Structure 1
Amino acid sequence: MTGVWVLLGTLVVAVAAGLLLKARNGRVRAAKPAATARPLPAPVAEALDPASAVTLVQISTTFCAPCRHTRVILSALAEKTDGLHHVDLDVTEQPEVAQALSVLRTPTTLALAADGRELLRVGGVPKGPELLAALQPHLTGIDAR
């Protein structure tokens, strides 16, 4: 009988963990003040577009299937939105970049201002309209092309 209770408890914990992870996937989070103060790694700093109000830096790895889906969403969003630029940074060969940015999973999307300040981040595949709504205060005159 004890084995049944252990199995039942394990299933409850697994379902709760799965629901928590699903709820957090793709959620837009505002940057923490400590994240905005730290210097950017060189590959990220070089990827910033000074002509754009916001640069979306997608942190990816080579064999990440959700990263491909994220790339499609962010590229389309950047193409149709003035002041928004998208860069996909593969950190497979440079894990120190992910470590410096406190990235624990791929894909992770960082929205960076032209001066390098982190505005927000998304862990997992972002939802385009939700991300655009969160970025709206940082973009001057959003205009669909």
Structure 2
Amino acid sequence: MTGMWVLLGTLVLGLAAGGLLTARNGRVRPAPAGTVLPSAAGATLPEPVAEALDPAAPVTLVQISTTFCAPCRQTRALLSSLAERTDGLRHVDLDVTDRPEVARQLGVLRTPTTIALAPDGRELLRVGGVPRSSGLLDALKAYLP
């Protein structure tokens, strides 16, 4: 009988954890006011991220990906399409498979992660997982022309 309770408890905990992860996937999280990446102790932006910023674009979406990440391909297609049809929005995909220090400096714990940056390197918002395009666009409206 104890085995049955352990099995039931494990099942409930697994379902709760799965539900929590599903709810967090694709959710837009605004950055704290004035956050400049990386958020750790005033360090500068990693070189690949700094090079990706376009001073002419009000918002650059920096997608942090890895080679074997299936959701990264879906995110790349979604963000590229969104950037093509939205004025002032630029998309850059950074593969950090061979450069884990870039992900570490940015505080990225999973791929894909999308970070919206202003031309000066301020973090505007962050999305873990595949973003929902309508929610992302709504969150970016204040920064776009």
Indicate whether the TM-score tops 0.5.
yes
| Alignment partner, residue 143 of structure 1 | none
| Alignment partner, residue 83 of structure 2 | 78
Q: Percent identity?
A: 71
Q: CA RMSD in A?
A: 1.2
The residue matched to 2:109 in structure 1 has which SS?
coil
The residue matched to 2:108 in structure 1 has which SS?
coil
* Residue 61 (1) aligns with residue 66 (2): yes
Deviations 1:73-122 (A, max 9, x none): 00000000000000000000000000000000000000000111000000
Q: What aligned pairs does 1:105-124 form with structure 2 within 5 A after superposition? A: 105-124=110-129
Question: In the TM superposition, what is the alpha-carbon distance from 1:67 to its structure 2 partner?
Answer: 0.2
Distance 1:98 1:35 in 2: 17
Distance 1:72 1:133 in 2: 19
| Alignment partner, residue 14 of structure 1 | 14
The residue matched to 2:104 in structure 1 has which SS?
helix
TM-score (norm 1): 0.93
Question: In the TM superposition, what is the alpha-carbon distance from 1:40 to its structure 2 partner?
Answer: 1.1
* Residue 47 (1) aligns with residue 52 (2): yes
Stretches of 4+ aligned residues off by more than 4 angstroms: none
Distance 1:19 1:35 in 2: 30
| Alignment partner, residue 4 of structure 2 | 4
| Alignment partner, residue 126 of structure 1 | 131
* Residue 28 (1) aligns with residue 33 (2): no
Residue 10 to residue 115, structure 1, CA distance change in 2 (3 Å): same
* Residue 89 (1) aligns with residue 85 (2): no
In structure 1, runs of 5+ residues without a counterpart are 141-145
Distance 2:59 2:33 in 1: 18
TM-score (norm 2): 0.93
Q: Is the 8 A contact 2:62 2:115 kept in 1?
A: yes
Distance 1:105 1:137 in 2: 27
Residue 34 to residue 136, structure 1, CA distance change in 2 (3 Å): closer
* Residue type of the alignment partner of 1:128: S
In structure 2, runs of 5+ residues without a counterpart are none
Distance 1:102 1:35 in 2: 13
